[in-house]
Amino acid sequence: MPEDPEPDRQKLNWTGFANRDDQLLIVLSLVIGVLVGLTVVAFMLVTGRLSARMYPPDSAAWRRVLVPIAGALLSGYLLFRYFPGARGSGIPQTKFALFLEDGYISLKTVFGKLICCSISLASGIALGREGPSVQIGAGIASAIARRFGLSAENVKALVPAGAAAALAAAFNTPIAAVLFTLEEILGDLHAPVLGSVVLSSATSWIVLHLILGDQPLFHVPAYQLVSTAEFGIYAILGVVGGLGSVCFVKLLLGLRLWFRKLPRWTVWCQPAIGGLLVGLLGWFHPEVLGVGYDYVDRVLGGDFPLKTVILLAVLKIVATPVCYSSGNAGGIFGPSLFVGAMMGGAVGTVAHTLFPGSTANPGAYALVGMGTAFAGIVRTPLTSVIMIFEMTRDYSIIVPLMISNMISFFISQKLQQEPIYEALAHQEGVHLPTLQERGASGLTAADIMVKDAPMLPSAVSVESLRMETEKEQCKWWPVGDDGHLRGMATDRRGVTEIKTSFAHAHPDHSLSQLLERMREFKVDALPVVSRADIHRLIGVVTLRRILSVYEIQEEQAGAEFE
């Protein structure tokens, strides 16, 4: 009998899909697109109407101080008491859920995010709605997938679809939403879930258009490249954008670290500090309040004076990090576009004043500046280019965008090596797997580690330490107190020496990664810790165990060859 050259084809049914799970995933991608689109539109409309009621036209200035404080206090209490999972932007939380919790996001978190973000954003907190939308979308996708009894793998496959659908509706940029999901959420441009991500993004975008019409997020004037000399000015914009982005990120991370050190009982009222600051700034400059898209629109129209755009860029660079690090619910996408527009407006105004005949209106620079700040802060260069391209729908903007975005990205990468979401995760004690780690095949640390390895107390005697190390034939052993890993201990000439700065492994690390790490840090044992909390010990992996695994495999291989 000749062999079938394409045996897999026999497994396909009339729809072209291999099995019913694949069909269901496709159908659910569409359902997720619809539901997420409807929810995000409702979220945007509720926030907008609530904000209009908080700040009626010609309202008194005291509102601009008191409303953000009250909003931050209320949302802060709700987050602390009822919805701790809804804190922050939503992007890192979505990634945690995707990589550490099998895509699990509770509906309670989704509701919490909706309620708390609506309150804080409507009250004028200087954060954006796009990051929270991503978590809301991912949460809806996760809940739907679980309701349909899908496997953990399939739940994880649908979470990015929800995230993309949310971003497509929130930004009105379906292609950029797909790219962002691949570039930032999944960290893999070749992710196999591309099909469902594209489907849900497009569906959500259609829903947005059906309800709100063909209204763009920003009203962008026709883009113009007046002369080739402008490329040089766009390069300068890239430098300015890069430096501004680094300031923004460093300030945010530094402040977040400071707030984390405050006593735990203050967590519920910490957001009020952000509310107070934004309120005081808003007293003098109402433009700082909220995400400020109205003002972005005006800068794109080129009608803000130089002094104002510089001032607003600086104020937003201060206000958003304070609001975010103090624990308010909201994202940094919108504010980063605001900061970028202002920086671009400033560079454009200076350029247009100096060389009026050979430069475009400052609005063109504000537009490119938005992408520049996004590339520098969020560190998704491809998304930032495509997002602005989608907003303008003008091909001629691509090259200036690429020039300034790449320069900004490069500067940001040089001066702030860790990307913002990764750094925020590390501050939380979370180590997400890299693309390489996720692709690991074969045996992993979880397969060979000493499970239920006893963690010795910090004040361990050298005798007790010897007992454990001799049992596993290694020199190092984890120590800690109250289930909190503090370091690795060794017997140094009869004295216990503890290293608090130590190398660690995660359960999904491959054996080669473990060996590499042991060689790098010159140790023969590594604590295996949780990705969600690096101070939670799961097991211990030793060099002897790894070698023994290889010996067995070598013996088996030898036997086969014999």
Stretch 149-208 residues interacting with another protein (CB under 8 A): 149
Instruction: Mark the segment that binds another protein (CB under 8 A) among 63-71, 144-152, 255-263, 387-395.
Output: 144-152
Angstrom distance (rounded) from CA 505 to CA 2: 49
- Listed ranges 98-106, 141-149, 236-244, 324-332: which one lies at the site for another protein (CB under 8 A): 141-149
Residue 222 or 552: which CB sits closer to another protein?
222
Cα 237 from Cα 295, distance rounded (Å): 20
Footprint (CB under 8 A) of another protein, residues 359-418: 361
> What binding mask, one character per residue, do residues 268-307 give for another protein by CB under 8 A, x or -?
--------------------------x--xx--xxx----
Name which position in 60, 151, 152, 219 contacts another protein (CB under 8 A).
219
Binding flag, residue 49, another protein (CB under 8 A): yes
DSSP symbols for 289-305? SS--HHHHHHHHTT-S-
Contact 117, 324 (CB under 8 A): no
Binding marks (x or -) toward another protein, 3..42, rule CB under 8 A? -----------------x---x------x--xx--xx-xx
Nearest approach, Cβ of residue 202 and another protein (Å): 17
User: Based on CB atoms, which residue is closest to another protein, 301 or 457?
Assistant: 301
Cβ–Cβ < 8 Å for 486, 410: no
- Beta carbons of 124 and 319 less than 8 angstroms apart: no
537-542 and 484-492 strand pairing: unpaired
Q: What is the C-alpha separation between 269 and 266, in angstroms, rounded?
A: 6
Which regions of 282-419 does DSSP assign to beta strands (E)? none
CA distance 471 to 463: 12
Which of 45, 152, 467, 547 is the binder for another protein (CB under 8 A)? Answer: 45
The most distant pair of C-alpha atoms in the chain lies apart, rounded to whole Å, by: 90
Q: Which range binds another protein by CB under 8 A, 212-220, 234-242, 427-435, 455-463?
A: 212-220
| Selected binder of another protein within 107, 152, 189, 222 (CB under 8 A) | 222
- Whether residue 330 contacts residue 127, with contact meaning beta carbons closer than 8 Å, is answered with yes
Indicate whether 419 belongs to the interface with another protein (CB under 8 A). no
Amino acid, res. 161: A
Helix (H) or strand (E) holding 45: helix 20-54
Cβ proximity to another protein: between 100 and 289 the closer is 289
Between 146 and 475, CB nearer to another protein: 146
Should residue 229 be labelled a site residue for another protein when binding is judged by CB under 8 A? no
Alpha-carbon span 506 to 524, nearest angstrom: 16
Kindly tell me the number of DSSP H helices and DSSP E strands found in the chain: 22, 6
| Contact in structure between 278 and 285 (CB atoms under 8 Å) | no
CA–CA separation, 177 vs 182, rounded Å? 9
149 or 494: CB nearest another protein:
149
Residue from 17, 26, 30, 48 in contact with another protein (CB under 8 A) = 48
Q: How far is the CB of 311 from another protein (least distance, A)?
A: 18
CB of 34 to another protein, least distance (A): 6
Phi, psi of 504 (to 5 degrees): -140, 170
Which string of x and - marks every residue 312-351 that binds another protein (by CB under 8 A)?
A: ----------------------------------------
In this structure, the number of other CB atoms found within 10 A of the CB of residue 404 comes to: 34
Return the closest-CA partner of residue 370 out of 191, 187, 216, 140: 216
Residues in 50-109 at the binding interface with another protein, rule: CB under 8 A: 52, 57
What is the distance between the alpha carbons of residues 237 and 230, in angstroms, rounded to a whole number? 10
Least distance (Å) between residue 210 CB and another protein: 9
Residues at the contact surface with another protein, assessed by CB under 8 A: 20, 24, 31, 34-35, 38-39, 41-42, 45-46, 48-49, 52, 57, 144, 147-149, 211-212, 215, 219, 221-222, 294, 297-298, 301-303, 361
